[in-house]
Amino acid sequence: MLRAIMCKGDNALSGIRPEELDKALKTCGFVWIDIENPGYGDFINIAKKFNLHKLAVEDAVTRNQRPKFETYPEHLFLVIHELEFDAALQLNELDIFLGKNFVITTHYKRLNAIEYTIETYKKNPSLFDKGADFLIYSILDKLVDNYFAVLERYDEKMAKIENTIFREPKPIVVNELFRMKKASLSLYMTIAPQAEIVNMLARREFPFLGKETSIYFRDVYDRMIRLIGIIDTQREIATGALEAYLSVVSNKMNEIMKVLTIIATIMMPLTLIAGIYGMNFRFLPELEWRYGYYGVLALMAVVAGIMLLYFRRKKWI
C-alpha cells in the first residue's frame, strides 16, 4: 500500500501513483510517502525518482534489520522500531528515508506512530511548513511515547509476578521471570542504539536537518536516556525478583524440613520404646501386666510431650 501526504493543496492523498509524484513535488515543499508491507517492486520507480541508494533499498525490503543510521549523498536512511508488549515483546520495524524534499517511510504492519502522525498532519496542515526533518521528529516523538506505554505494561506485569512470588510461588514464575529478563534485554538492545541515532540527528552534522529542529531531537534524546535508566532499573528488579523467589522457595523448603525433622526426632524414642517391648524375650518386665499396653502408650505420650515442650522452649517450633 502506497500513500503520500502533501504539504500544500490537499493535505492528504491516498493511493497516489508513482507517476503523480512529479506533480506533487512541484506543488509541495516536500512529499511524505508511506509504504506498508513493501516489496522491491514498490521501490523501483520511487528509488529512481529520489535517487535512493541500492543498499538502503535492500535494507528496507529485508525484514528484521537492526537499528541503524546511514548517510548517502541524496538522503539519510534510518532503521528504528516501534514496540508492542502484551504476552511478549514484539518489535515492529520502521525504515525512514529523509531527503531534501521528501520523507519515505516503510513498515510491515500498521504502526501507531505513523497513523497518529498522519492524523495529526491532516488536522494541522501548517506542520508541513516546518519541513521534512520536523516530520521525522513527530514520528520519533510518538515512538518514544509508545516506549513509555510499553514500559508501564512491563511494570504492571512485573508487579503481578512479584505478588505471586510471595503469595504462591510456583515453578512457572521462574519461566515468567526469565521471559521478563529477556524482554528487558531486548528493550535495552533496541532503545540504546536508537537513542544514539537520535543523538546524531540532534548534532546537526548531516544535511537535510535544520537548526530549528535540533532542539526537538535533543528533547527526544533526553527522554530516551530516561527510558534506558528505567530499563536498567527494571532489569535489576527482575534479578531481585528471581532472587526473592529462590529465597522464598528455600525458606519454604526449610520450614518443611524443620517440621519433618521434629517429627522424626520425636518418633525416635517412641520407636525405641516400641522396639524394646516388641522383643521376643520370655521374661520381660510388665509383659504380664494387665495394663502394660496402656502404660507403654502413656509413656510414649509423656516422652513426646516433654520433647515438644523442650523444642518450644528452645524456640525451634
Report the C-alpha gap between 281 and 213 in whole angstroms.
Answer: 103
| CATH number reported for the structural domain that contains residue 75 in this entry | 3.30.460.20
Output the pLDDT for position 140. 92
Residues 6+ apart with CB under 8 A from 206: 71, 76, 200
Residue recorded with cell 513426646: 304
Residue whose C-alpha is closest to residue 21's, from 3, 36, 35, 37: 3
How many distinct structural domains can be found in the chain?
2
* C-alpha distance from residue 303 to each of 112, 269, 274 (Å): 74, 8, 12
Q: Are residues 232 and 272 in the same domain?
A: no
Report the C-alpha gap between 128 and 53 in whole angstroms.
Answer: 25
Q: Are residues 230 and 255 in the same domain?
A: no
Residue whose C-alpha is closest to residue 76's, from 191, 209, 211: 209
Report the C-alpha gap between 61 and 110 in whole angstroms.
Answer: 16
Range of the domain at 222: 2-249
Q: Are residues 167 and 295 in the same domain?
A: no
Q: Are residues 102 and 89 in the same domain?
A: yes
Output the pLDDT for position 100. 81
- Mapped onto helix, strand or coil, the DSSP state of residue 123 is helix
Q: Are residues 256 and 210 in the same domain?
A: no
Output the pLDDT for position 95. 92
Output the pLDDT for position 19. 62
Q: Are residues 124 and 110 in the same domain?
A: yes
Q: Which of 249, 264, 291 is the last residue of a domain?
A: 249
Report the C-alpha gap between 95 and 57 in whole angstroms.
Answer: 10
* C-alpha distance from residue 306 to each of 265, 272, 274, 313, 316 (Å): 12, 16, 18, 11, 14
Determine the residue type at 55. Answer: L
Output the pLDDT for position 14. 47
- Mapped onto helix, strand or coil, the DSSP state of residue 83 is strand
Provide the β-strand partners of residue 34: 3, 105
Output the pLDDT for position 281. 64
- Successive 10-residue mean pLDDT values, the chain, 317 residues: 58 53 69 80 76 86 84 88 76 88 87 88 81 88 88 81 75 77 82 88 75 86 90 82 78 81 85 78 70 80 85 77
Q: Are residues 141 and 71 in the same domain?
A: yes
- Mapped onto helix, strand or coil, the DSSP state of residue 81 is strand
Output the pLDDT for position 12. 47
Q: Which of 230, 249, 268 is the last residue of a domain?
A: 249
Q: Is the pTM of this model over 0.85?
A: no
Pair 133, 208: CB distance under 8 Å:
yes
Residue whose C-alpha is closest to residue 317's, from 259, 249, 254, 257: 259
Q: Are residues 198 and 118 in the same domain?
A: yes
Report the C-alpha gap between 101 and 268 in whole angstroms.
Answer: 90
